[in-house]
Amino acid sequence: MGMSWTRRPIYLDYRAPSVRGLLNCGLSCCINALLQSLSATTELLNLLNRWLPPDDFEDHHNVPLELKRVLHAMRDQLQPAPHRDFLDCLHHNYVHRFTQHDADEVFHSILNLIKQQMLDHELVAEIQNLFKIVMEGHIQCLECAYVHRVPTFSLNLPLHLCEEKNTLEDCIRSFFKIQVLEDSDKFCCDRCEEKQTVAQGFKIVSLPSILCIHLKRFRNDNGLIKKLYCQVTFPKSFSMTEILTEQYAPEQTLKDKYTLYAVIVHSGSPMFGHYTAYIFSTKDCTWYYTDDSHVHRASWTDVQQTYDGSFRTGSAYMLLYRRSSSEALQESSE
């Protein structure tokens, strides 16, 4: 899913005041699109800047150190390929060049490698918390009414799609909808001490500053990977009060407003595709479209074209929303 299935002229567009292009180096379009989104996540760079390894620490295979360097280098328009060292670093850590990659999987790999390789464990926790959705899974036995509760968390919200039209709001409702597990899916009740029909669901404990949403367009169909080209609409901003009731989350959590600032787009088929990204710059309040080294201004109408899942123009695959209470901090750091 990382292969470049179409070629564009390779050049750097220096007209973009706050978003710069990245050369495609070894089928790096997937990582390029992720780096554009992480560069726009200024909160992440703020946390990485607080990591001060020892003066003699020099490890070019250390992901958090190389990520910190590349995010700084991307702010220098004169560097022709600021991400080469980061690509080499990921290659050493088994995110290989000249290989198809899934953007969601690489996103998780980067965060997991930060957790493994950063020496400051408190800072690691803050970076994880930047994206961490804390939930409580609950499984209620429909025979004795006993509720089994399981704390859990996710670094993004993975949303299943139906094969026709979808809205982001309906996909979120579907994720939290209570499901009845019966027949072969029965669950062993601790109180009954035998398998029973149960009702399973999730409740939100807390939401992060950065809400990353994964639109699960790829599906295993009898051993073959199928891509869903269905429509998925999503808003510029939303709050959970518009989607969920208080039975699914604390009232204050539901009131938090989230604003979209990055859309990672997948074009083509599961086995022969290409990644690009739309990035919203708070410096000039403008959307930019980044296709490897090609960057140009875009509009919200352009972003909305990713709703429809077109084979060639691309379909939204990952969405990054910023909680409004984080905006002042994010803007002050730029």
The residues annotated as belonging to the active site are 29, 274
Rg over alpha carbons for the chain, rounded to the nearest Å, is 21
Please state, in angstroms and rounded to a whole number, the distance separating the CA atoms of residues 71 and 33.
13
Give the burial class of 119: count Cβ atoms within 10 A of its Cβ; 0-12 exposed, 13-18 middle, 19 or more buried. Answer: middle
DSSP state string for 17-61: SS-------SS-HHHHHHHHHHHH-HHHHHHHHT----TT---TT
By DSSP bridging, strand 257-269 and strand 315-323 are antiparallel
Distance CA 28, CA 31 (A): 5
Residues with Cβ within 8 Å of 63's Cβ and at least 6 positions away in sequence, in order, are 89, 90, 93, 110, 113, 114, 117
Name the H helices within the chain. Answer: 29-40, 42-49, 63-73, 84-92, 103-117, 121-131, 168-176, 251-255, 300-304, 327-332
Query: Which pairing describes strands 224-227 and 218-221: parallel, antiparallel, or unpaired?
Result: antiparallel
Assigned token pair, 3: 């292969």
- Give the integer Cα–Cα distance in Å for 37 and 298: 16
